């Protein structure tokens, strides 16, 4: 087991997460297997149970463990550990801080936070998920965590917090979270943008009530999350199109422009900027190819253009020429801006959505000085 955990830390670091000594100790000592006692589904859908030889090697790998399905749709999981680590480090936790977690999942993320000395309240809208997390935390002997079955939009018990971390993809920031947050606090949250869920470091308005000035944010990292239900996941006037699954009949309409092709970080930078500049940016899968791609989707959501990492554009549908031109213009604009990475952007928010359950959604973006 000791070798497995050393390998576990090495994988997390290899996949880009920086681990402080305290967080490395938390990952090395909190037993992840206790939080998946009934097994899990792997990314390919295969079920793995504790009796399987691959159970512990998979538990101590840098991979998501899906723990609840609604038909074919995952609805609860233990997130990819390197992503957990990146988000926890961005949260900047130290002993005694009061942390609200939206999305209890298995309880493992809350256990890591508690191991850093935080006093954690974690909420999950699914009562059975909350009950299993509570049980797992007790079995693991983790103190300092309270688990509540509650709507994440409201934030559960009406208390004040120094930090809020959200472990489910949302359409925006709940005003209730800002009401609970101390003035110098922060929210680390994956907010839908361009068909994915970039993780944002959100700060409350520096002066005046949040309802007047609104929060601001910077980008922590790129990510993809399961989407929230209810007001947190509701589409609104600022929403980008849903992802297109399996775009077909694509043909190359513009040749490659970058050699070598953009590396993953640069491609994510292009994607994020394109979504800042155009409301029809989303992502799409292409039959026969494993990854997802930056896409511009027409009003049907079934055709448009895909921009590849080398700058080539594939397009389909009656307006293929138009969407090729849009993709070219966005790539040109990003190139002319000196290829800004995701982290170079500062985000402002506007209140939108259902008037009975509004959210703060990203609405404006500016490049930070020196970007």
For 69-80, the pLDDT digits (tens) are 888 778 888 899
pLDDT cut 90: percent of the chain above it: 84
* Per annotation, catalytic residue among 78, 79, 174, 254: 79
Residue pLDDT, tens place only, 231-267: 999 999 889 999 998 888 999 999 999 999 999 999 9
Query: Angle at which helices 81-91 and 2-14 pack, to 10 degrees?
Result: 70
Whole-number average pLDDT of the chain: 93
User: For residue 369, what pLDDT is reported?
Assistant: 63
Q: Give all domains of the chain, ordered by start, each with its CATH number.
A: 2-167 (3.40.50.150), 251-336 (3.30.310)
Average pLDDT over every residue of 208-223:
79
Rounded distance between C-alpha atoms, residue 193 and residue 169, angstroms: 10
Is 135 annotated as catalytic?
no
Give yes or no for a contact between 329 and 307, defined as CB atoms under 8 angstroms apart: no
* Percentage of residues in the chain having pLDDT higher than 70: 97
- Check residue 31 and give its pLDDT: 95
Query: Is the C-alpha dihedral spanning 306, 307, 313, 319 positive or negative?
Result: positive
Alpha-carbon gap, residue 305 to 200, rounded angstroms = 27
Lowest mean pLDDT among 135-139, 194-198, 243-247, 334-338: 243-247
Q: Identify the pLDDT of residue 229.
A: 85
Per residue in 281-313, pLDDT tens? 999 999 988 889 999 999 999 999 999 999 999
* Residue 275 vs residue 289, higher pLDDT: 275
pLDDT of residue 212: 55
Above 60 in pLDDT, residue 210?
no
Whole-number pLDDT of residue 208: 54
Say whether pLDDT at 370 is over 70. Answer: no
Span 33-59, pLDDT tens digits: 999 999 999 888 889 999 999 999 999
Q: Which helix (H) or strand (E) holds 88?
A: helix 81-91
Rounded distance, CA 221 to CA 32, Å? 24
Q: Where are the beta strands (DSSP E) in 214-344?
A: 216-221, 251-254, 281-285, 292-297, 304-307, 313-316
Type and span of the H or E element at 61: none
Rounded mean pLDDT, 172-182:
96
Torsion angle (degrees, nearest 10) of CA 326, 329, 335, 340: -50
Using pLDDT thresholds of 50, 70 and 90, give the confidence band for residue 62: very high
Taking a C-beta distance cutoff of 8 angstroms, is the pair 78, 105 a contact?
Answer: yes
The more confident residue out of 179 and 214 is 179
Task: Please write the tens of the pLDDT for every residue from 114-167.
Answer: 999 999 999 999 999 999 999 999 999 999 999 999 999 999 989 999 999 999
- Pick from 331, 202, 325: nearest CA to 266: 331
pLDDT value of residue 72: 75
């Amino acid at each position: 087991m000791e070798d497995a955990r050393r390998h576990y830390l090495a994988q997390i670091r290899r996949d880009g997460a920086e681990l402080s000594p305290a967080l490395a100790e938390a990952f090395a000592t909190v037993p992840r297997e206790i939080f998946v006692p009934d097994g899990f589904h792997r990314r390919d859908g295969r079920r793995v149970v504790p009796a399987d030889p691959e159970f512990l090697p998979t538990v101590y790998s840098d991979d998501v463990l899906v723990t609840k399905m609604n038909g074919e749709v995952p609805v609860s999981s233990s997130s990819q550990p390197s992503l957990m680590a990146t988000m926890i480090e961005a949260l900047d936790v130290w002993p005694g801080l009061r942390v609200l977690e939206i999305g209890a999942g298995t309880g493992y993320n809350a256990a890591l936070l508690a191991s850093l000395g935080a006093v954690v309240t974690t909420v999950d809208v699914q009562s059975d998920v909350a009950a299993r997390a509570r049980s797992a935390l007790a079995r693991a002997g983790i103190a300092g965590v309270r688990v509540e079955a509650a709507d994440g939009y409201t934030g559960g018990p009406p208390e004040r917090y120094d930090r809020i971390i959200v472990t489910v993809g949302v359409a925006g920031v709940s005003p209730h979270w800002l009401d609970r947050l101390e003035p110098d606090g922060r929210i680390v949250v994956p907010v839908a943008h361009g068909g994915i869920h970039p993780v944002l470091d959100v700060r409350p308005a520096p002066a005046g009530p949040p309802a007047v000035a609104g929060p601001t944010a910077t980008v922590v990292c790129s990510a993809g999350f399961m989407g929230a239900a209810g007001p947190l996941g509701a589409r609104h006037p600022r929403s980008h199109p849903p992802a297109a699954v399996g775009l077909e009949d694509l043909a190359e309409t513009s040749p490659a422009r970058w050699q070598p092709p953009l590396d993953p970080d640069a491609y994510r930078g292009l994607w994020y900027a394109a979504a800042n500049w155009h409301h029809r940016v989303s992502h799409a899968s292409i039959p026969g190819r494993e990854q997802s791609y930056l896409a511009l989707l027409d009003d049907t959501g079934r055709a448009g253009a895909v921009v590849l990492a080398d700058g080539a554009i594939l397009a389909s549908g009656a307006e293929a020429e138009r969407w090729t031109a849009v993709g070219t213009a966005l790539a040109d604009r990003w190139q002319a801006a000196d290829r800004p990475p995701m982290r170079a952007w500062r985000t402002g928010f506007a209140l939108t959505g259902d008037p009975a359950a509004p959210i703060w959604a990203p609405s404006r973006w500016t490049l930070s000085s020196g970007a």
